[in-house]
Amino acid sequence: MSTWAAILTVILTVAAMELTAYSVHRWIMHGPLGWGWHKSHHDEDHDHALEKNDLYGVIFAVISIVLFAIGAMGSDLAWWLAVGVTCYGLIYYFLHDGLVHGRWPFRYVPKRGYLRRVYQAHRMHHAVHGRENCVSFGFIWAPSVDSLKAELKRSGALLKDREGADRNT
């Protein structure tokens, strides 16, 4: 496989992984099938150590490992798909686990730009208790904060959830 084909494969795989992650997050993790694991991420207090929800990352890591193994047996395409899945996993870890949920040894809250938008969008995802009426299911792509606020307002989810302070910062 040429260098440009490999680079294109990695980029397209990262994009496909964002669509896959959105779909899995929206319809499996927040659905009746996957909520058992994902609930640990939303509704249970934790010390930012491992949680059941991290098993989803293990599943994607296994997929990547299998693709690397197939690639090592001679499939260039499988190898570069594995690189793309791994790159997405690293981006996910940086944005979701590190930046948004503070699973780093330090805390950083971005003040502006793309990282601020991703941070706010995912915080708004957690503004609602439970699996219903959540917004912003992607991890790399983040809708505008204004559109997410409007969606939450339309659903009435924040009104139902206002036992404490508004958590959609």
User: pTM of this prediction?
Assistant: 0.86
Q: Where are the domains of the chain?
A: 3-39+51-100, 113-160
* Coil vs helix vs strand at 22: helix
Q: What angle do CA 56, 28, 92 make, to 5 degrees?
A: 40
> Is the distance from CB of 88 to CB of 17 less than 8 angstroms?
yes
Give me the sign of the Cα torsion angle 58, 37, 136, 95.
negative
Q: Look at residue 57 in the predicted model and tell me its pLDDT.
A: 94
The whole-number pLDDT of residue 26 equals 95
Between CA 149 and CA 3 the distance in angstroms is 43
- Residue-level pLDDT, tens digit, the chain, 169 residues: 999 999 999 999 999 999 999 999 999 999 999 999 999 888 766 665 788 999 999 999 999 999 999 999 999 999 999 999 999 999 999 999 889 888 888 888 999 999 999 999 999 998 888 889 999 999 999 999 999 989 988 888 765 555 544 444 4
pLDDT at 156: 80
- Alpha carbon distances (Å) from 17 to 11, 82, 141: 10, 11, 11
The Cα 128–Cα 126 span in angstroms is 5
Which parts of the chain fold into alpha helices (H)? Answer: 3-23, 35-42, 55-72, 76-92, 113-125, 145-155, 157-160
- Check residue 48 and give its pLDDT: 59
Cα Rg of the chain, angstroms: 17
